[in-house]
Chains A and B, each alone.
Chain A
Amino acid sequence: MGEFFHVPSDLQHSYLGLVGWHLEEALIPVLAGLLLALPLAQLCVRLRWLYPPVLWVTTVLYAIPSLAFFVVLINWTGQSEITVMIPLTLYSLVVLVPAIVDGVRSVPEETHAAATAMGFGPVRRYLQVELPIAVPAIFAGLRVATVSSISLVSVGALIGNQGALGNLLADSMFYHRPILAVSSVVTTAVLAMAVDALLVLCRRLLTPWTPPARERGRGAPVSVPAVAEEAR
């Protein structure tokens, strides 16, 4: 079992160090994606005509292989974490933008009208009514984005060992030690599940107001193909 946690010294990290690094490389892009997606989605809600082209662009970005991104980005950002995180940020948009748009649009018309009638300005209405009501949908998007980001980080191994746990895969081949590959894959999967569970917990805590039945419906992660389908 010690083999499982033993990281070759050329990776310059302990096992836990790799886990922490992996999380950092996976989660910062999702967070950045969320910060980009929020205003973008709001624009799409406001200007209906903007939504189809935005969806189209995010889908096209999603279709570009990460390796192609790396090749282009390496000229600017070198063999660094940033080079890994920029594509991941853009990928997260393909689920986050539709999730937020659908969430904000799911605010019942009469709730929206009631807010207006009570004298909410547009900004206050967005922050205090629309966004909170969109939280379940946003979290559904966040879960997909996070899990896929955690699995995609490994590709970073291809550009100067920037893949965190993914670097173990490369070493597994280099040293002919299959256990390293197992360690890499299993750890990544466990990490994804743990973070996903944490997100579910957060959603529950943030939305005590969702009826249990609806929670079940909303809780199921949006599948990437479904979102991509919608994007066409």
Chain B
Amino acid sequence: MIRFESVTKRYPDGTVAVDGLSLEIPDRSITVLVGPSGCGKTTSLRMVNRMIEPSGGRILLDGEDVQQQPVHTLRRSMGYVIQHAGLFPHRTVADNIATVPRLLGWDRRRARSRALELMERVGLDTALARRYPYQLSGGQQQRVGVARALAADPPVLLMDEPFSAVDPIVRKGLQEELLRIQQELGKTIVFVTHDIDEAIRLGDMIAVLRTGGRLAQYAPPDRLLSAPADAFVEDFLGADRGIRRLSFFTSGGLELSSAPVVGEDDAPPDLPTAPYLLVVDGDRRPLGWADPKRRAAGDRTLIPYGRSFPAERGSLREALDSAVLSPTGWAVAVDGDGRAVGVVSQEAVAAAIRAAHAGQGGAPEDAEPAGVR
């Protein structure tokens, strides 16, 4: 566990970058430091591996003051991913990744095979091993940066805006990759970003810092969205936090009705309750909506269904989105293979949202975060 105890950093020019920060960072989880530019995120992160020394307070790593530990040993036991990757331009991808193992005295062959193993782990083609950084895309460079930080299998990973320099689609891919790696490796990750959406997507715990390096709120993402501590946090969270919070409720509890789901060539069933039928193909993949009366009259035109949501692993946010996008007002639930399992109306989703909120009572912090983050 990493523990900040009233840590303060005052730079020689008098700037107070971090002011009395106390924080407990739980093991084997992702803790995100988020806040506006200049609020002291990088400074806080760099005090953990002593690239910056605090001017007050202390930081404990598993109960031991980091100040008491030999600096190079400390740093080599923590992976560090830097903004813009910070790769060594004169070293190949494999040599970049093998940096810390080589510093730790591993022989060349072992370090190299470890590098190749990590390239696979972070989703890089091992054919890139001999390339130099300038021959990589921004997203690939970031992956190399992550692989390099993981190389010596450090228990702690410090990440400073690792994905900020890439476009939103690549960023989303990298975030998913990080969550997957984290599920496999269970590192203690301290992640810095100024992007609140990234913080909410990745964080098990989120520390919102305000300018001047003071902690505004420290809470799990669901709690942050439901109960921002003050106007600053609320403002920082931005619009539609109510909708965003729905990401933390599972869609698993929705009552799906499978009766209106019909095959392409089936005779339309007589269902007074369902105003629309969902037509599926032979594999039960959704094709579109059909009006039962017009279909009975031989009209086979389909209304596009918009977007489906995962029945089990999904969130209420996805279910609601699917219902709102669908011209019929009904959301289509699919299983892991994209086969339709049932449909649910906007009204039913709204009822489930009310039930979920009620289920949390007055203490939303007790809720199990569920569904896709």
Contacts and interface: CB of A to CB of B under 8 A. Distances in A.
A110 interface: yes
B132 A208 contact: yes
A111 B89 contact: yes
Interface residues of A, number: 23
Contact of A119 (B72, B86, B87, B91): B72
Contact of A110 (B71, B85, B92): B85
A118 B134 contact: no
A104 B90 CA distance: 13
Contacts of B80: 114, 117-118
A225 interface: no
A121 B72 contact: yes
Chain B: interface residue count, which band? 20 to 34
A114 B82 contact: yes
B132 A117 contact: no
Interface in B48-89: 49, 51, 71-76, 78, 80, 82-89
Given A110-B82, A118-B80, A120-B103, A133 B89 contact: yes
Interface in A79-129: 108, 110-111, 113-121, 124, 129
Interface string A127-157: 0010011010000000000000000000000
Nearest to A107: B89
Nearest to A212: B134
A30 B153 CA distance: 46
B86 A209 contact: no
B134 A211 contact: yes
A115 to B, nearest CB: 7
Given A116-B51, A119-B103, A211-B134, A108 B90 contact: no
Contacts of A223: none
Given A110-B83, A111-B86, A119-B71, 4 more contacts: A110-B84, A118-B80, A133-B90, A209-B132
5 contacts: A111-B87, A111-B88, A117-B82, A119-B103, A214-B134
